[in-house]
Amino acid sequence: MQMTKSAKIGLLFALLAFTFLPVLAGGQWIKIFISTGCFILAASGVAFMYARLGMVSLGQVALMGIGGWVMLRMNHAFDLPFEINLAVAGAVTLVFGWLLAMPALKMRGLYLALITLMAAGGLEVIFSTYRFPNGGEGFWGVMPSVAAPFRRPLVATDDADYLRYIIFAIVVGFLIIELHMRAAPGRAWAMIRRSEAAAYASGVNVVYYKAWAFGLAGFLAGTSGGLLAGGLGLLDPATFRASESIMLFALMVVGGSRGWLGVVIAGVLYRVVPALFNDWTIDADIALVIFGAALLHAIITAPNGLSGQLIDLFGKVGKRT
């Protein structure tokens, strides 16, 4: 399989981040970059659904919460390796992605967005009511005292190595999406986006491939939620509010949905920009104003997002030189 120029640049970017970011970042910033990486991986799922199928899913952060819940419960209940717990978290969330797809398979646009948003709202209530496992007994695994320790991968016990682990996971997630794009699912999704009627007429199983897309997005969300649980050791229900799914989708539109760069921009805007404002003792809510202006800019002048504008800019500079 021939690698595109964009993929080569992405791998170089990932290699540089893998090598230097854990060294340059210190203290709390490593935690922030760990969180950023997890949301980049989650955003990749909602981005490919929007770019390849034209489907707006507003439940991705809530699905992250499911993956994080399963990861914490597995960690505290069983003495299993981190990777097995992470695979279970991704698989369970994949199933939830399929369940979320069932009432939405015949819908597009506003109605699909509303259904996924309502599901995210329901999960928000569950997370707020029952909270996340912290080593307690019973199904919910919640205890009022200090949380039990979380077991990280043997190769990534400290924060710096765990950040490298996250970067590797992002590359694998992007590779999974790219492999889908170049195989039968990618061709089917492209035809469905162009015309569902034409896809039916061509023998494409539209329901099957839509469910496949929801399952893949759910798997990526669950994996990112599990990785976030490993990075923080304990999760807060406020992280998985329905409004956060809307915010992540909006920033994905700002960054651009058709490549790895747009998803990275979305994750950085979502996590790093508010953290910078806090670090500068500026009210982080100002970031919402900036995000709103950026979204307006993207809708009016940048259909491919900021990443598309950056690629066009570098392309023009390259031609001049």
pLDDT of residue 104: 64
pLDDT of residue 22: 92
- Say how far apart CA 5 and CA 83 lie, in whole Å: 31
- Say how far apart CA 130 and CA 237 lie, in whole Å: 9
Mean pLDDT on 233-239: 93
Question: Which one has a higher pLDDT value, 240 or 311?
Answer: 240
| pLDDT surpassing 80 at residue 207 | yes
E strand or H helix at 120? helix 109-130
Q: Report the number of distinct structural domains present in the chain.
A: 1
Tens digit of each residue's pLDDT (9 = 90 or more) over 271-320: 999 999 998 888 888 999 999 999 998 888 888 888 888 887 777 665 66
pLDDT of residue 45: 93
Domain harbouring 159, CATH code: 1.10.3470
- pLDDT bin (cut points 50, 70, 90) of residue 99 is confident
Domain that holds residue 11: 5-20+29-320
pLDDT of residue 106: 67
pTM of the model: 0.93
Mean pLDDT on 57-85: 94
Tens digit of each residue's pLDDT (9 = 90 or more) over 176-194: 999 999 899 999 998 988 8
- Say how far apart CA 88 and CA 127 lie, in whole Å: 19
- Say how far apart CA 86 and CA 172 lie, in whole Å: 14
